[in-house]
Structure 1
Amino acid sequence: MKIRIIYFLLAMLCCGTTIVWAQDDSFQVEDPLRAFEEQPSALEKFKFFFETSNRYEENSAYDWMDRVNADLSEATRNKDTAAIKAFEMMRAQLYYDLGSFQQSVSIANELYTKTTDEESDMLLLLLDLMDQNYGQLQLYDKQVEIRKKKKELGLTDQVYFYDIYANLGLYRKAMEDYIYDKKKTIDNTNLYEQAAYHNEVGKFLLMDKSAASALSYFKQAQGYIVVYNNDMTTVKTESEISQAKLLNGFIEGNIGKAHVLLTQYEEALPFLENGIGILNEQHKVIYRAEIFENTLYLALAHMELGNLRKAKEYLDRPWDISKPKLVLERNGLLAAYYDAMGDYRNQSLYLKRNVRLQDSINDKESTIRRQQMLAIVANEELDNSRQMIDDQRKQLEERKAELKAKDMRTNLVFISLVFTLLGFAGLVYAYLKSIKNQRLIAEQKHIIENSLTEKDSLLKEIHHRVKNNLQMVSSLLSLQTKNTRSKAAIEALEEGKTRVKAMALIHQKLYQNDDLSVIEMQGYIESLINSVQSVFKKGGHNINITIDAEGVELDIDRAIPFGLILNELVSNSFKYAFPEDDANGKIYIHIRKNGDGGFFEYTDNGIGMPDDVSDRENESMGIRLMRRLVNQLQSTLNIDRNADGVRFWFNFK
């Protein structure tokens, strides 16, 4: 049963759930449908409809559809073109809210052909709705076209694709693009934006099977949204309160999922139940997928805790969603339940259902995803490719015309036969030559692959030997330390040893990596700090160290200077910044790449640097060494001293 449940978890991680936020509104009413009916014109009804996000609290979307259809019929009888367009737009939105995405996008496409460029508000609503529908229908190439169209029409300044990358399984690229795009625009003082940002990053990490890191981001998101909701100093509209509650529901569910993936089942239960409760209050069909996904995680948690009857209750809840992956996951859990109960007949029944369903979707899904992934990844080359295809089509048409004219002028069968034979001979020759070329290419490819493999092995061996030699130097320095009585000499030897270890660690990371060209800085810095702590024994163990270098990779020419710089800074903090071994000591290390360059920052909240440090800089080997290393990175070291500690920073290329 545990093996099947593991397969279920992997499937859940590969299936992201799209979050669709409610439309903003400027006012809320107790009975939105009655207020809608009382609006004096179609334009006022249109505005009221899209400005009221709580329209389904009193009446369902089906009630709204009946009212809008009645108004549309009256507008059609009166031949009121503007009113017809407004009510059709409302119908498209209602079909989307009801989960009828194909019907919604069909109406939206027809409306789009009747809307002029001057109707920018209507165009933006239509294109956004079409974008959301194509996302639900997994037609990601269509989403790309819609977003490019919005940019062409000047309705948006920037086109983003990170949500599409995530839906295609490119979770790490989606997260990198999202962080790059959002980090520079997010308002650090806006708690709601901070909560949404951390929740989204956590989702990417969860889908990328990094549950522990994802849980950390979800907890931060929860902290932001709790403070936002409890902030009584800021006046919030009903819409903002509703959106914050909805976001909290998604965050609660995500925290529960992360706990389940970390096998923390008891902790997961209240979060999943709260998330389901909040989403159910929205009365929107669009949130069903998220609700059912949380329900499946609840069933799994209860099953792992031995609460089989409770798990079965969740699995037997009304199931009116047709997403194949969720159906597969539910069937898998039901099969696991019947296996645990010894009911092998029902277990076999659900397993067979999964096999049939999986076989029916595998080929189609893989083909569609492969084509759409190509459309997304090659987005920048799409225009050039289309132009090339058009040119080739024109050339082909011209060639066909020439051949047709030639055939018409050629009446002699003998000449036609000669041309046919010559053409056949040319094809045979080209075919034989192609086979020969393919063989040569295959042989050359084999030789190149063998050479690359041998080269990688040699490079790893070189890095390994360099690391061993540097460790030998470190050992010699340790021996020399034991044979030295001078305190100053011992300190100098220890400093030299930590610098040698910093360089040795670079080479160790390189020969342990599959990619010999770059160093992953987050893991390297953690290993470096552990190495420095081992040298200082007791020093540094009460200090809270935060490292923000996730996803940053540097080549060896830049990694070695960084390692030596960090060695100097961390060693100085351990030795001088916290003389009382203060448990509240903090060190913050931040590295971020931006294109070909980047930014480095190091701070601690220790006692700071002496006031006369600028007079002794020329006598400090550490400062001189760091300045030279920063010069190697084509930058200048900046030092900020204050009463709360010290800060070093520089930009690098």
Structure 2
Amino acid sequence: MGRYVRFLFATIYFAFLFSGSAQSITGEEPNTLKEFQDINTPSGRFNVFFNSVNRYQEHSAYDWLDTVKIYLSNAQKTNDTIATRLYQVMQAQIYNDLGEYDKSTALAKELYFAKDSLDTESQKIVLDVLDDNYANLQLYDKQIEIRKQKREMGITENVAFYDIYSNLGLYRKARNQYIMEVKPTIADNDSYGLAKYHSKVGNYLRLDNSAPTALSELKKAKAYLDVYLNDISVQKSEAEIFESDLLKADIEGNIAKCHVMLGEYEQAIPLLKGSIEALEASPKNAHRNEIIENTLYLADANLQLERYSEAKKSLDVDFENIGILQSIKRNSLLAAYYDKVENYKNAAMYYKRNERIKDSLAQKQSSIIKQQLVTIVANEDLENSQRLIDEQKRINELARSEMKAKDERINLVFISLIFTLLGFAGLVYAYVKSIKNQRLIAEQNHIIENALIEKDSLLKEIHHRVKNNLQMVSSLLSLQTKNTRSKAAIEALEEGKSRVKAMALIHQKLYQNDDLSVIEMQGYIESLINSVQSVYKKGGHNISITIDAEGTELDIDRAIPFGLILNELVSNSFKYAFPENDENGKIYIHLRKNGDQGYFEYTDNGVGLPEDAEERAHSSMGIRLMNRLVNQLQSKLNIDRDNEGVRFWFNFS
């Protein structure tokens, strides 16, 4: 009997445990669609739909579409206009998430024309949906109109076009505009903003086939994101953590693509798999292209490593709404796969498919561009027609006024004739005189042009001679170095020699330029670094140096101080920043001049400045020289010792 009682109690106990664990398991996965259905108000459902972190985790977009259509039909039957608009906004977003851009555009345009009946949040969503649809449909002129409308409504202050440039394949132009518009808006302590910024710059560099530089930017973005995620002092919402995870997946996917481009396939594969898995949790349509791209790069990596079954598994994934360029890449990989497995019939079939797609793509792109041009011209013609109508109205008014005054003008005909003859005589006299003046001006212009040519030649000769004299000074310093036994004296002479070379290089660049007034700084900085490396033969050759000064030009009054400042900074990095090993050394130089304002930044990841750097600054000639040179530029030198290595920066005018 006691044995049966114990069995009964054990059965009840395990049943209780099972029911409790089942409840906890059920409670772990929230059902957003059920929450949406349980709410009774359209506005409440609207908030659940757009505020959910991942609304498609439990139920697909098609499930959501069917549910929203039911509520929309009920709202239309009861003539509830506000509810109808809210459900239509949700429906337009779902079509966009599904990649059905034509349906989404048609519905969003209907809402756009009735935007006065929508609240501000709904208007913003509709404009964002249209913006994304037009981008995917390659209707960039319409996309620009939507962005201008956003600015007029106060939704955004700036109309940015860098993503449109990227879609057109102008990656360098997109990167330059993105850096110019976004970099000044990010605070130095905004780790998440800096992560997004470097991720975007790195991706533009990758698309522009600059894989090594892109990899450096993307790793910098990942480092900033790690700082943000590990910062426990900042409270993060569930949505912010989710967005951070998606950004991390995006960055790691682009890092992996760079590894594939560089032939580092083993490093790329785990990053691509992790990125695909994380991005598949995103409800945003923007990540669909990234998933497709990562899957194709994964197939490429496995194909290169002769893992044919793994490659084929990736290529057999059935993607919805795959892009034309992605189809071309997929067909190329399939053709390469069948070549590898010696199925040449299938390989030829995919090669032929690509040829047909490329021909169709060329016609389609030509048609789209022609259609957009016709639209723009039509708008201009409409505006011109309106201006012509207004001008005709004004002419008609003037004609009526002239008819009323006709009788008064008849009496003045003879007087007008006399004045006309006098005026004609004056014009003849002026014409004759103007011919003489024109001849005189032509002669003077010829003299001035010859003088300018002679002046340019003399200036080039002067700069050439100054450069030669400075090189002679450098040679004298070299001779003095060989005759000196004091180590301190040799170092001082070498530093002086390096500074003289920096100034000589300025004059060399000037007499080699057609324009003697400015120096292109990207090429100058590269030449200067090569010059410094030649002085410090034992170091600096393994350091990765990134120069971001393309397109920046300075006059000689600013270029010489900059050359001397850079000479000091690079010399110090070569001598002191990497005392043990410089294989992982990195130097970043950034110089920009936008109108009257300029910005300079220099960083390295070396050992940094010593703790007594401020006391040494008073006795160090290099620091004192840099401070004086920065003062010449009417600025102040800033030094950051908190992060790894050291960072110098200042603004100038």
The residue correspondences of 1:341-380 to structure 2 (distance < 5 A) are 341-366=341-366, 368=368
Deviation at residue 112 of structure 1 after TM alignment: 1.5
Task: Give 1:652's aligned residue.
Answer: 652
Distance of 1:490 and 1:386 partners within structure 2? 75
1:187-266 pair list within 5 angstroms: 187-232=187-232, 234-266=234-266
How big is each residue's C-alpha offset from its partner over 1:508-527, in whole Å with a ceiling of 9 and x where there is no partner? Answer: 66799999986564664455
1:308 aligned partner = 308
Query: Structure 2 CA distance, aligned partners of 1:159 and 1:535?
Result: 48
- Residues 1:605 and 2:609 are matched in the alignment: yes
> What is aligned with 1:52?
52
Displacement of 1:627: 6.9
**Alignment partners' CA distance in 2, 1:358 and 1:400:** 55
The CA deviation string for residues 617-640 of structure 1, in whole angstroms up to 9 with x for no partner, is: 9xx7x788767755664x255587
- CA pair 362-468 structure 1, distance change in 2 beyond 3 A: farther
| Corresponding residue SS for 2:299 | helix
Structure 1 residue 535, shift from structure 2 partner:
2.5
Identity of aligned residues (%): 52
Equivalent position of 2:128 in the other structure: 128
Q: Give matches, 1:337-416, under 5 Å.
A: 337-366=337-366, 368=368, 389=384, 393-394=388-389
Query: CA-to-partner distance for each residue in 1:282-320, whole Å, 9 max, x for gaps?
Result: 366653322111111111111222223332222122243
Contact 1:601 1:650 in 2 (8 A): yes
Displacement after TM superposition at 1:198 (Å): 2.0
Q: In terms of mean alpha carbon deviation, does 472-481 or 636-645 score higher?
A: 636-645
Distance in 1 (alpha carbons) for counterparts of 2:309 and 2:243: 35
Q: 1:69 to 1:610 in 2, by over 3 A?
A: closer
Note if contact 1:540-1:581 (Cα within 8 Å) is conserved in structure 2: no
The alpha carbon displacement at 1:265 in A equals 1.0
Q: Deviations over 1:547-580 (max 9, x none)?
A: 66454623352333311233245556777x78x9
- Aligned partners of 1:481 and 1:493 also within 8 Å: yes
Structure 1 residues 58 and 358, CA, compared in 2 at 3 Å: closer, same or farther? same
Q: Which amino acid aligns with 1:213?
A: T
Match of 1:69 in 2: 69
Counterparts of 1:419-434 in structure 2, within 5 Å, are none
Residue 107 of structure 1 and its aligned partner are, at CA, apart by 0.6
Name the amino acid aligned to 2:609.
N
1:467 is displaced (CA, Å) by: 6.5
Deviations 1:61-109 (A, max 9, x none): 1111111111111111111111111111111111111111111111111
Alpha-carbon distance change, 299 to 370 in structure 1, aligned in 2, over 3 angstroms:
farther
Give SS of 1:358's match: helix
Whether the 8 Å contact between 1:298 and 1:314 is mirrored in structure 2 is yes
Partner of 2:295: 295
CA distance in structure 2 between the aligned counterparts of 1:283 and 1:643, rounded to whole angstroms:
39
Aligned to 1:330: 330
List gaps (5 residues or longer) in structure 2: 1-27, 397-452
Q: Deviations over 1:149-205 (max 9, x none)?
A: 111122222322221222122222322222233223334444433322221121111
**What is the match of residue 567 of structure 1?**
567
- Paired AA for residue 260 in structure 2: V
Alignment of 1:554 onto 2:558: no
- Kindly state the Cα deviation for residue 357 of structure 1 after the two structures are TM-superposed: 1.1
Is the Cα contact below 8 Å between 2:549 and 2:590 reproduced in 1?
Answer: no
Maintained 8 Å contact 1:639/1:646 = no
Aligned to 2:321: 321
Secondary structure in structure 2 of the residue aligned to 1:593: strand
Q: 1:365 to 1:122 in 2, by over 3 A?
A: same
**2:116: which partner in 1?**
116
| CA shift in 2, pair 1:319/1:40, >3 Å | closer
Report the Cα offset of residue 327 of structure 1.
Answer: 0.7
Contact 1:117 1:153 in 2 (8 A): no
1:497, distance to aligned residue in structure 2 (A): 2.5
* Aligned counterparts of 1:119 and 1:240: Cα–Cα separation in 2: 25
Alignment of structure 1 residues 151-166 onto 2, 5 Å: 151-166=151-166
CA change 1:310–1:177 in 2 (3 A) is same
Query: SS at 2:185's partner residue?
Result: coil
Deviation at 1:119? Answer: 2.9
Counterpart secondary structure, 2:320: coil
Segments of structure 1 that go 5 or more residues without pairing to the other structure are 1-27, 402-453
On the 8 A contact 1:218/1:254 being kept in 2, the answer is yes
Equivalent residue runs for 1:261-280 within 5 Å: 261-280=261-280
Q: 1:116 aligns to what SS in structure 2?
A: helix
User: What TM-score do you get using the length of structure 1 for normalisation?
Assistant: 0.72
Does the aligned pair in 2 maintain the 1:289–1:321 contact within 8 Å? no
Q: Is the 8 A contact 1:547 1:588 kept in 2?
A: yes
- Structure 1 residue 258: deviation in Å? 0.9
How do residues 14-93 of structure 1 correspond to structure 2 at under 5 angstroms? 30-93=30-93
Q: What is the TM-score when the length of structure 2 is the normalising length? A: 0.72
Q: How many residues were matched structurally? A: 562
Cα drift, residue 277 of structure 1: 1.2
Q: Looking at both structures, which has the greater relative contact order when contacts are Cα pairs under 8 Å and sequence separation is at least 6?
A: 1
Change (3 A) 1:180 1:641: closer
Measure how far apart 1:128 and its partner are. Answer: 1.5
Which secondary structure does the structure 1 equivalent of 2:116 belong to?
coil
Residue 510 to residue 357, structure 1, CA distance change in 2 (3 Å): farther
Contact 2:617/2:623 (CA < 8 Å) preserved in 1? no
Structure with greater Cα Rg: 2
